[in-house]
Amino acid sequence: MKKLISISMLSADFTRLGAHLQEAEKAGTDWLHVDIMDGHFVPNITMGPDQVAQIRKTVDLPFDVHLMITHPLSYIERFAKAGADTITVHVESPDDTDACLDAIEKFGCHPAVVISPETPVDAVKPCLDRVDMVLVMGVHPGFGGQSYIPETTNRLKAIRQMIDASGRDIRLEVDGGVNFKTLPEILDAGVDTIVSGSCLFKGDIAENIRKFKKLF
């Protein structure tokens, strides 16, 4: 499976957001990772579907929308209509995961699930027959610029084995603490979709993406 970079807009310069995202698109990023936080599920607030719809007008990249919200089921339709291509929901959410995946499929998006660092990897097993991607958090969700949690590597390896055993083409994505130092071991763990923000947006975006892809 082709390896992809999903650049995290959380680390973009919001004073010139459209232009900054266009720079990332021109530089060769594959997806745009859009973090949605509600201030309840995680201790931070980002944006809603109206803002995502506005951003959708600025770039042609596939939108990789990560819902870090308490009740994702209530918002899936709105984010799908705002331009999401993939929608990822937390298995830790109180909303029924199957119902969320049903809604994501109903509104024409790729379904995905995500687990936080404290959640056992087995929590994704019931979803493997219907998701297109599993996202593993390499940091505690809520803020960018955190350091990679070393135990994440073993968690990624375990989920890679589950995916391979399923016989399905499921992407394995990691988000948090990904940089030039941590990327090689992350790739060795079987990851094919890389979320990175602060490492890529800092400095020359095109050169940073080139260096990332060179490690692929």
What residues act catalytically? 35, 175
CA distance 31 to 45: 22
- Locate tokens 């490492």: which residue? 199
CA distance 42 to 36: 10
CA distance 91 to 94: 8
Tell me if 165 sits within 8 A of 158, measured CB to CB.
no
Instruction: Determine the distance from the C-alpha atom of residue 26 to the mean position of all C-alpha atoms in its chain, rounded to a whole number.
Output: 20
**Contacts (Cβ under 8 Å, ≥6 apart) of 77:** 103, 107
The candidate with the shortest Cα–Cα distance to 156, out of 138, 169, 177, is: 138
Angle 70-168-77 (CA atoms, 0-180°, nearest 5)? 30
**Structure tokens, 49:** 């579907």
